[in-house]
Chains A and B, each alone.
Chain A
């Protein structure tokens, strides 16, 4: 089966992931937290998609769903036209070499007892790449040089490297099988500035010269702006805005995106209140359960209907931009998008732990 080269490499359709919260039991209903709520996006070939959000936005969960490290509660993930959602075991493993992950913490994601050669060689052995030891070793040497290390590093241990060096080892492991898609979750968050720039440049060259696609998960707006072609902005598990990076950040349409891109030092707190969390649940859990906009408690631009009806997803048509916000009603180029897929009140059981 020859996949269509013009179709997206990966697309997610209506992804939902719920986590059961502790508590509940005999007489009370188990409560669950909806970490990812009706999330749809796609990643084109040779494209960098930035996934932006703060803690609790669901961005890490989405990365894990895409990697099939977690099964979705609802929705599907198509990789190159293949529905990964219901694959498991060997069937899933045969596709795994095509999408690989780079983790946030280069200290925790490498086995401290394994030598660099073994770490990078392991995926080659698992996926049966390279016919013998010598050939694999040659490939490892090549991979290390590709990520800016040296073949002399092969017999060293992770602890002998700085954070940036370890992240390079992680990237060498991820690209060992020549994947089509890399998923990188905050790959530079724990690195020093000068190291971060080197790693960003490395990702950039993997996309430009090896033709990989990249799902770049980060809360670092300037870096996402530099690196990604398109961006998806998440807030409390929902996509609040998406579109071509330049346009979204130059003229954000959702108040939350505007807040994220705020450039000047405000004399007063930028948004009132905190990001709701398990321990500081949103001001009105009731509004969450009614499917109202999750950003409402912090929004400075809210309209009367924001308090009474769920937000509507608008699209600018061919421009490829979308935003989930009542404020776009009546804007000339923006039209409401498939209202049938809007979450109905009973469909949004976000609950807090207390």
Chain B
């Protein structure tokens, strides 16, 4: 087991689904990697394919999915060609997931203790006393001040923030190498969300795990990620260093427009003019334009964009799937005269 190789490398992953409207590809030619100890943010709006991409890494595909194309290399072995039992071993032990809604991801009729105990029983042969100690230790690490009481509680007896902390404790139970967090802060109140983000960052820094943070909330992605992947209509359209993405600005016009559509951190008010909203809406996946999927909403689009699929343009650490990427640093981020 080499410590140097890339932890996760996804190569040309395509997930196709049969629907009433025809075959759609909610995940299309997706390639990215996650290094050991790295936090990668996967950003996109609903329907962009970010959740499905995350689930694919666990070998979970929606009903109606065709066999996925491409490769998902985790520590060098392709998850898509592993036997179900090997996959189950990796899932849970080496890759774990924190879901958006802890109330639906936790079993309502079992105590926190029983649910965590189950993880250890099915994946390890630790004696009960060790299991108990680990459970309480994990809950404490997740920032729960009274682990004993929490462990005896049922999910409904806990607040949303506490439930999400329990989810995180469970995800970390077996010291996984990669934690996938799918919108872990969306169902939470803003101050609690900040606590959870701080917790995720702190745990990752102290234990060296990798994190794939899936979210539509740009400010949250900015807080936790080293690198950002932006998705639109099933494809990754930009990859960038997080600091550059949020300071100089995204190079893809979609990323640029998305950032500008939030009054984030700015002191502008409605008296200064409208927000620069992106016109139109995401095209349905069964009716994508022949060229760039963002072209119908893009201010920079020309005939090349409308009829020819873009190709990757690389610059420094980043790459962008666009014919006409933006290369000027971000000016006034909110203003649209």
A residues apposed to B, CB below 8 Å: 48, 54-55, 162, 164-165, 192-198, 200-201, 204-205, 207-208, 219-223, 225-227, 245-246, 250, 259-260, 262-263, 265-275, 277, 279-280
Known: A197-B261, A223-B263, A227-B270. A260 touches B46 (CB 8 A): no
* Pair A162/B263 contact, Cβ less than 8 Å: no
Query: Whole-angstrom distance from the CB of A13 to the nearest CB of chain B?
Result: 28
Contacting residues, chain A, for B218 (C-beta < 8 A) = 193
CA distance A54 to B192 in the complex (A): 9
* Pair B159/A226 contact, Cβ less than 8 Å: no
* Pair B159/A277 contact, Cβ less than 8 Å: yes
* Pair B281/A259 contact, Cβ less than 8 Å: no
Contacting residues, chain A, for B262 (C-beta < 8 A) = 193, 197, 222
Query: Whole-angstrom distance from the CB of A253 to the nearest CB of chain B?
Result: 17
Contacting residues, chain B, for A219 (C-beta < 8 A) = 189-190
| Interface residue? B318 (CB, 8 A) | no
- Total of A-B residue pairs, C-beta within 8 Å: 124
CA distance A239 to B121 in the complex (A): 49
> Quick one: closest A residue to B155, CB to CB?
A279
* Pair B195/A270 contact, Cβ less than 8 Å: yes
* Pair A275/B189 contact, Cβ less than 8 Å: yes
Contacting residues, chain B, for A262 (C-beta < 8 A) = 191, 194
Stretch in B20-28, B111-119, B198-206 with 4+ CB within 8 Å of A? B198-206
| Those of B267-296 within 8 Å (CB) of chain A | 267-270, 274-279, 281-282
* Pair B191/A196 contact, Cβ less than 8 Å: no
CA distance A265 to B216 in the complex (A): 18
> Quick one: closest B residue to A354, CB to CB?
B157
Contacting residues, chain A, for B160 (C-beta < 8 A) = 55
CA distance A220 to B189 in the complex (A): 10
Contacting residues, chain B, for A222 (C-beta < 8 A) = 219, 262-266
| Interface residue? B240 (CB, 8 A) | no
* Pair A193/B270 contact, Cβ less than 8 Å: no
Contacting residues, chain B, for A165 (C-beta < 8 A) = 281
| Interface residue? B60 (CB, 8 A) | no
Query: Whole-angstrom distance from the CB of A141 to the nearest CB of chain B?
Result: 21
* Pair B202/A267 contact, Cβ less than 8 Å: yes
Query: Whole-angstrom distance from the CB of A156 to the nearest CB of chain B?
Result: 15
* Pair A279/B275 contact, Cβ less than 8 Å: no
* Pair B274/A205 contact, Cβ less than 8 Å: yes
> Quick one: closest A residue to B259, CB to CB?
A193
- A-B CB proximity, top 9 nearest: A197-B277, A226-B263, A54-B189, A197-B261, A194-B278, A192-B45, A201-B274, A198-B277, A204-B270
> Quick one: closest A residue to B274, CB to CB?
A201
Query: Whole-angstrom distance from the CB of A354 to the nearest CB of chain B?
Result: 9
Known: A246-B267, A265-B201, A270-B198. A197 touches B278 (CB 8 A): yes
* Pair B261/A55 contact, Cβ less than 8 Å: no
* Pair A225/B263 contact, Cβ less than 8 Å: yes
Q: B159's contact among A225, A269, A274, by CB below 8 Å, is which?
A: A274
Most chain B C-beta atoms within 10 Å of own C-beta, residue among A195, A197, A200, A260: A197
Contacting residues, chain A, for B258 (C-beta < 8 A) = 193-194
* Pair B269/A225 contact, Cβ less than 8 Å: yes
* Pair A275/B276 contact, Cβ less than 8 Å: no
* Pair A266/B265 contact, Cβ less than 8 Å: no
Contacting residues, chain A, for B195 (C-beta < 8 A) = 269-271
| Interface residue? B197 (CB, 8 A) | yes
* Pair A269/B190 contact, Cβ less than 8 Å: no
* Pair B143/A269 contact, Cβ less than 8 Å: yes
CA distance A107 to B218 in the complex (A): 25
| Interface residue? B162 (CB, 8 A) | yes
Query: Whole-angstrom distance from the CB of B304 to the nearest CB of chain A?
Result: 23
Query: Whole-angstrom distance from the CB of A299 to the nearest CB of chain B?
Result: 12
Known: A226-B270, A260-B191. A193 touches B261 (CB 8 A): yes
Query: Whole-angstrom distance from the CB of B175 to the nearest CB of chain A?
Result: 22
Query: Whole-angstrom distance from the CB of A168 to the nearest CB of chain B?
Result: 12
* Pair A279/B198 contact, Cβ less than 8 Å: no
Contacting residues, chain A, for B223 (C-beta < 8 A) = 265
CA distance A274 to B165 in the complex (A): 11
Query: Whole-angstrom distance from the CB of B5 to the nearest CB of chain A?
Result: 30
* Pair B263/A204 contact, Cβ less than 8 Å: no
Q: A266's contact among B157, B194, B276, B281, by CB below 8 Å, is which?
A: B194
CA distance A226 to B277 in the complex (A): 14
| Interface residue? B250 (CB, 8 A) | no
A/B interface sample: 22 pairs, CB < 8 A? A48-B270, A54-B191, A54-B192, A192-B282, A193-B216, A193-B258, A194-B278, A200-B277, A204-B270, A225-B269, A246-B267, A259-B191, A262-B194, A265-B194, A267-B198, A267-B202, A269-B199, A270-B191, A270-B195, A273-B145, A277-B159, A280-B158
> Quick one: closest A residue to B279, CB to CB?
A198
| Those of B129-176 within 8 Å (CB) of chain A | 143, 145, 156-162
| Interface residue? B257 (CB, 8 A) | yes
* Pair B159/A193 contact, Cβ less than 8 Å: no
Contacting residues, chain A, for B189 (C-beta < 8 A) = 54-55, 219, 275
* Pair A197/B276 contact, Cβ less than 8 Å: yes
Contacting residues, chain A, for B197 (C-beta < 8 A) = 265
> Quick one: closest B residue to A266, CB to CB?
B198
Q: B190's contact among A221, A250, A272, by CB below 8 Å, is which?
A: A221
Q: A274's contact among B161, B261, B267, by CB below 8 Å, is which?
A: B161
Contacting residues, chain B, for A54 (C-beta < 8 A) = 189-192
* Pair A193/B201 contact, Cβ less than 8 Å: no
CA distance A273 to B158 in the complex (A): 12
Contacting residues, chain B, for A193 (C-beta < 8 A) = 45, 216, 218, 258, 261-262
> Quick one: closest A residue to B223, CB to CB?
A265
* Pair B156/A269 contact, Cβ less than 8 Å: no
* Pair A194/B270 contact, Cβ less than 8 Å: no
Most chain A C-beta atoms within 10 Å of own C-beta, residue among B161, B192, B268: B192
CA distance A274 to B218 in the complex (A): 24
CA distance A197 to B266 in the complex (A): 14
Q: A194's contact among B156, B219, B261, B267, by CB below 8 Å, is which?
A: B261
Query: Whole-angstrom distance from the CB of B111 to the nearest CB of chain A?
Result: 14
Query: Whole-angstrom distance from the CB of A292 to the nearest CB of chain B?
Result: 20
Query: Whole-angstrom distance from the CB of B44 to the nearest CB of chain A?
Result: 9
